[in-house]
Structure 1
Amino acid sequence: MISRRVFTSGLTSSSSSSNPPKETIILSDQPAPPPPVPEPPPQVSGRKSWSFLKYGLISAVAGAIGCVGYLSYKCSYEEVDQKAKALRAAASYTPSEDASAVEKYRGILYSTAMSGDEQTLFLYLFFLLCLFMEVEVVCGSTLFPHGFFSCNIPVPAKALESYLDLRKKVEEHVMEFTEPTSDKLLPDLHPQEQHVFTLVLDLNETLLYTDWKRDRGWRTFKRPGVDAFLERMAKFYEIVVYSDQMNMYVDPVCERLDPNHYIRYKLSRGATKYQDGKHYRDLSKLNRDPAKILYVSAHAFESSLQPENCVPIKPYKLETDDTALLDLIPFLEYVARNSPADIRQVLQSYEREDIAKEFLERSKEYQRRMQEQRQQGRFWRR
């Protein structure tokens, strides 16, 4: 309930009747409303300009990053550098007074798009996005001033050169981990051994099998026939072990596997090529004639970059009756004794079949034909 107090003057009623009464003042406990605050003048145009500038800059940065990512994924450094020649020439272009630079770049983009060269088109888009970002920063809210493409034209060219320099450094650094440690993984052959073939052998599931169990940990098992196989092949081949394991594993295992040192060279993970998440054997880095290299592995076609040199063999899984290595000896001896001009053509004739089994069948067929010819010769002599 609001209490109200009425104050009047101290005059009598007679005097109050003669004189007009004063204005009655009513006081209330309820506070008076605050005076209205004047509203600030609207600043719509400035905010819109800044918002347009901000979102335009964000879009340009996102577009430039997208173009850079696409080019890095789609093209190699040499391809980008080759295609960037036209961009360098465009960056050095100085428009004349009666020529429109916008029309020039529009024509370049149109002709590039019509040629179907999407990599070059993305290069031009990257060029224009870099230029657009520079114009935004320099010109403030005025996004499209007079002479848009003539303003700070060297900036996108420098951005392109910076991208190429950075990519070259990154690729050189990455190659240290993805490429073999050397372009010549093996020393030169002796002049008297130029005719010798190189037999490259894998380790896991080819010469041995590594198994792990909780009660005993890791154990390595030799494949049946390994000793006889190495001893026999060392008379005809230069034997090289090429594994994707670390050298701290390969070296001691080979010492136990080959106490007689029939294996000449041991190559480990550092000599492989890392590609698509796997370590591949790059036989082209062995410093040997590709026509005289045989790669024997249980996973030959999956682990080598040169499938034409592969000799597949059955994976070893601790079978006690395994004879895969011994069965392969006749074929390898035949190759070493006959020295074909190009072993890749010989391997291609087997069409990725079981070479040991197929060679045995061909040998039997050859002996049968020879026997028939001898019998026919004896018949005609009679």
Structure 2
Amino acid sequence: MSSIVLRSRIISKACRSKIINRRVYSSEAVSSSSSSNPSKETIIASQSILSDHSAPPPPPPPPPAALEVAPEVSGRKSWSFLKYGLIASITGAVGYTGYLSYKCSYEEIEQKAKALRAAANYTPSEDASDVDKYRGLLYSAAMTVPAKALEAYLDLRRLVEENVLEFTEPTSDKLLPDLHPAEQHVFTLVLDLNETLLYTDWKRERGWRTFKRPGVDAFLEHLAKFYEIVVYSDQMNMYVDPVCERLDPNHFIRYRLSRGATKYQNGKHYRDLSKLNRDPAKILYLSAHAFDTSLQPENCVPIKPYKLESEDTALLDLIPFLEYVARNSPADIRKVLQSYERQDIAKEFLERSKDYQRRMQEQRQQGRFWRR
């Protein structure tokens, strides 16, 4: 590198001395021959000086990459703007569609879509001016695209809701066959399985085991004389059928309903008693989780959950109340259950029965006193 710098300095000094010497020679020539042709010598001298000077090199042309930077950057910015704008539009449309699906029902959206359809089918009157007709044509064309999009959304939502209903709604609007005319006065006793009639437990050394609640056999045998007994569980059919076969070998349970007959709502399977094809005023739903698993709390009869207690008598304690209801046939069982205000029905019924007997005994004693 140092040798290159030294060489360039020597060359520049040599050129400079050569130019000075030529200038000196040209000036002497001019002074000696100025009388003959001064203008020509001056021109020749200037040309020789100019020819000796090395013209400064032109600036190097920009590389091809530099020439293409500006258009490429602008193209990238345009594409990025278009891409993110498209993503934002799709995201907004999907979000608004989800909001409509959550907030509004199909019928509500259908009602709101009428105005958009009318705008898309707008036609100006015949006596309107050309300007009004042109405006109406533009307005109708502008509303056609949103109207078509809304129509496609409604068709898709209707198809989705029809498929979803197969999994969230009971399999039929009439889960039980029609009641025989001779049994129209009979009440329907709906029973849950888990922690009501039995308890299922799992341990590593023995796996799954199902335990029958104390008093189940006597409970079913006695109440089958007064009630139409139905098991309504949120378990799968492959579990309900074999369990009921072992639980009720004498077939006191008339019908069995499993998960397919429940209503799936808010992540839970609910018993929808309105689908039983029975008079709601004559339905009792007995469960350890009655108010949490039924859509009709006014028909619920709560019972203490069974947790493998050896001295459990909850089922047997309920027999007097259920037999009293079946024998007296109240017009609406919902009003009777409402009077207990979600209390322990077996215990409260026993207290009311004792109070009733005490009052009846007092009346009989007063009647004997007046006869004397």
Please, what TM-score do these two structures have when normalized by structure 2?
A: 0.79
Displacement of 1:69 = 1.4
Q: Where does residue 355 of structure 2 map in the other structure?
A: 365
**Paired residue for 2:254, among 264, 286, 289?**
264
The 2-side partners of 1:193 and 1:366 are apart by 30
**Paired residue for 1:316, among 297, 306, 326?**
306
Are 2:183 and 1:157 equivalent residues in the alignment? no
**Paired residue for 1:92, among 108, 118, 121?**
121
Q: What secondary structure is seen at the aligned counterpart in 2 of 1:274?
A: strand
Unaligned runs of at least 5 residues, structure 1 = 105-146
Sort the Cα spacing of 1:17 and 1:281 in 2 relative to 1 into closer, same or farther, 3 A: same
The 2-side partners of 1:53 and 1:149 are apart by 26
1:172-211 mapped onto 2 (5 Å cutoff)? 172-211=162-201
The structure carrying a bigger helix percent of its residues is: 2
**Paired residue for 2:111, among 66, 79, 82?**
82
The 1-side partners of 2:159 and 2:134 are apart by 34
Displacement of 1:32 = 9.2
The 1-side partners of 2:267 and 2:22 are apart by 112
- Superimposed CA distance per residue, residues 186-218 of structure 1 (whole angstroms, 9 cap, x where no aligned partner): 111111111111000000000000000010000
Displacement of 1:74 = 1.1
Instruction: Work out whether residues 116 and 147 of structure 2, in 8 Å CA contact, stay in contact via their aligned partners in 1.
Output: yes
Q: Which of the two has higher C-alpha Rg?
A: 2
The 2-side partners of 1:99 and 1:49 are apart by 37
The 2-side partners of 1:16 and 1:62 are apart by 81
Displacement of 1:79 = 2.2
Displacement of 1:75 = 1.6
Q: Which runs of 4+ in 1 moved over 3 A?
A: 3-8, 14-22, 36-63, 94-102, 147-152
The 2-side partners of 1:288 and 1:224 are apart by 30
Displacement of 1:33 = 6.3
Instruction: Work out whether residues 101 and 150 of structure 1, in 8 Å CA contact, stay in contact via their aligned partners in 2.
Output: no
Sort the Cα spacing of 1:156 and 1:236 in 2 relative to 1 into closer, same or farther, 3 A: same
Matched AA of 2:170: P
Unaligned runs of at least 5 residues, structure 2 = 27-44
Q: What secondary structure is seen at the aligned counterpart in 1 of 2:119?
A: helix
Please, what TM-score do these two structures have when normalized by structure 1?
A: 0.77
Task: Tell me the matched-pair count.
Answer: 333
The 2-side partners of 1:270 and 1:61 are apart by 37
Q: What secondary structure is seen at the aligned counterpart in 1 of 2:241?
A: helix
Matched AA of 2:113: A
- Superimposed CA distance per residue, residues 259-305 of structure 1 (whole angstroms, 9 cap, x where no aligned partner): 11100111100110100000000111111111110000000000000
Sort the Cα spacing of 1:245 and 1:190 in 2 relative to 1 into closer, same or farther, 3 A: same
- Superimposed CA distance per residue, residues 133-191 of structure 1 (whole angstroms, 9 cap, x where no aligned partner): xxxxxxxxxxxxxx864434222111111111110100000011111111111111111
- Identity among equivalent pairs (%): 77
Sort the Cα spacing of 1:216 and 1:41 in 2 relative to 1 into closer, same or farther, 3 A: closer
Instruction: Work out whether residues 200 and 210 of structure 2, in 8 Å CA contact, stay in contact via their aligned partners in 1.
Output: yes
Sort the Cα spacing of 1:221 and 1:51 in 2 relative to 1 into closer, same or farther, 3 A: closer
CA-based RMSD of the aligned residues comes to 3.5
